[in-house]
Amino acid sequence: MKRITSGILLTGFVWSGLGIFSLPPQVTAVAQTQEDGNLFYLYKGQRISLNQRQDTIAVAFKKVATRNLAAPPLYLQLQQDLQSSIRTTTPPRVSPLGENYAVVSLPTGTRDAVQQNIQQQPYVQTTLPVLSRSQRQEIIVIPNEIIISFDAKVTQAQRQTILEQNNLAIVRPLRFNRDRYIVKSTVATGTKILTTANQLNEVKGVTSATPNFIQSITDQNLQTASKQVANLKAAGDWGFGKILPSSQSPAPSPQS
């Protein structure tokens, strides 16, 4: 199967301003996905449907202050640990997603065993679902982060009240825009972050709320995305994310 060279973007900053990047259509995805009408996010009132992939799972690594320079990268360490403990004809393959995340390609019928093994590793913080849009070969990961924009007239006290009422805590404000913040839920995880973001869009004083997706895009679309990022920089609406280098994304399992 053709491997997909990809770029990784923290995309919430672009999605919140442009939608889902206006990416050109791709070939029909062969990845295993689970249709779920409840998985969607809202962009300018439009419902964007997502499917959960069954052939991959994402991993968030624990952040450490210092790390032995001679030690292998965490994604390689995870691959070694998985392949030494899970015996299958096609071993799990781990690909980096920036510095703190990775995506694990799952052999057929091993999802539960692999996920349990991953969660036992001391350097792993959590596992995360991997989503994709219909008819797309892509990886969309939902960390516990939402980009929220407040009406400029909403006071700091009112903003704090809105966050507390929705079980949210500020991670950090976004640069160059005092009305936007990255927040995290204190109760929701996984795909429930989508529900939380959608509910925030109905709250008075909130102008928009979008999960801070991490997305892998193919070479076919990397140039388009880069141009849109350049346009944001030229317009001065920059600082809400960055393009991260990556190696090849995991090829989808051949089973469909």
Residue 137 to residue 59: CA distance in whole angstroms? 19
Three-class SS state of 206: strand
Query: What's phi and psi for 189, nearest 5 deg?
Result: -145, 170
Residue 217: the pLDDT is 57
pLDDT at 95 over 50: yes
77 plus 16 within the same structural domain: yes
Same structural domain, 204 and 235 = no
Per-residue pLDDT band at 66 (split at 50, 70, 90): confident
Give the Cα separation of 109 and 88 in Å (integer): 10
Query: Is the predicted pLDDT of residue 195 greater than 90, yes or no?
Result: yes
Q: Determine, yes or no, domain membership for 254.
A: no
Q: Domain for residue 220, yes or no?
A: yes
The enclosing domain of 158 has a CATH number of: 3.30.70
Do 151 and 232 share a domain, yes or no? Answer: no
The domain containing residue 157 runs over which residues?
Answer: 146-211
pTM: 0.70
Q: Do both 161 and 138 map to the same domain? A: no
- In terms of pLDDT, which residue wins out, 84 or 244? 84
In the prediction, which pLDDT does 230 show?
Answer: 61
CA 20-21-24 angle, to 5 degrees, is 105
* pLDDT for res 12: 44
Q: Is residue 202 part of a domain?
A: yes
pLDDT for position 42: 86
Same domain, 82 and 192: no
121 shares its domain with 241: yes
Q: Which distant-in-sequence residues (6+ apart) come within 8 Å of 47 by Cβ?
A: 40
